[in-house]
């Protein structure tokens, strides 16, 4: 099971989730970049998510839809800013495909890294930067730490099977 570790934010509007995971960077990256696996891990149950478009290149679409147990539907459109296979994914909802600015300005830019550890495990580090203190607070109130933590554990469980 993933081990929670504390890593300080780089700035006041950043939320950080860090775990030492019992999976390789390659396994974790594969889970993140295989659209068909998203319903299994990307949302805390009973929510689920489906990828509607994943174009793994800078400027490529990073789109998904999250479905809630009471019929909720949240569409997330964004773009990848950086893709380094097995090491890093950087994505934002500040833009949509074709570098179209998001109508609401977006909530965050996430730098997700997979850093190999000496013991065969991986430091899984998500740094989510927000454009304003209000957007950071909104993301925290939505359950960033708990929700992203559950998703990280679900991601690890799948990664270990690959």
Please state the rounded mean pLDDT for residues 58-74. Answer: 96
Residue 120's pLDDT band (cuts 50, 70, 90): confident
**Domains in the chain with CATH codes:** 3-159 (3.30.530.20)
Q: What's the confidence (pLDDT) of residue 129?
A: 98
53-62: pLDDT as tens digits: 999 999 999 9
pLDDT digits (tens, 9 = 90+) for 27-37: 999 999 999 99
Q: Give every CB contact of residue 161 below 8 A, 6+ residues apart in sequence.
A: none
Contact 34, 161 (CB under 8 A): no
| Cα torsion 74, 80, 81, 84: sign | positive
Give the three-class secondary structure for 150.
helix
pLDDT at 1 over 90: no
């Amino acid at each position: 099971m993933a081990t929670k570790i504390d890593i300080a934010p780089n700035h006041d509007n950043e939320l950080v989730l860090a775990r030492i995971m019992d999976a390789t960077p390659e396994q974790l990256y594969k889970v993140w970049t295989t659209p068909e696996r998203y319903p299994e891990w990307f949302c805390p149950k009973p929510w689920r998510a489906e990828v509607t478009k994943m174009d793994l290149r800078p400027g490529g679409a990073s789109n998904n839809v999250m479905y809630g147990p009471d019929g909720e539907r949240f569409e997330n459109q964004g773009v990848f800013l950086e893709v380094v296979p097995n090491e890093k994914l950087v994505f934002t909802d500040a833009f949509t495909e074709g570098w179209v600015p998001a109508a609401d300005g977006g909530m965050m830019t996430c730098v997700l890294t997979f850093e190999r550890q000496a013991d065969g495990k991986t430091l899984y580090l998500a740094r989510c930067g927000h454009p304003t203190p209000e957007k950071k607070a909104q993301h925290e109130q939505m359950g960033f730490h708990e929700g992203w933590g559950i998703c990280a554990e679900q991601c690890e469980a799948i990664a270990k099977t690959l």
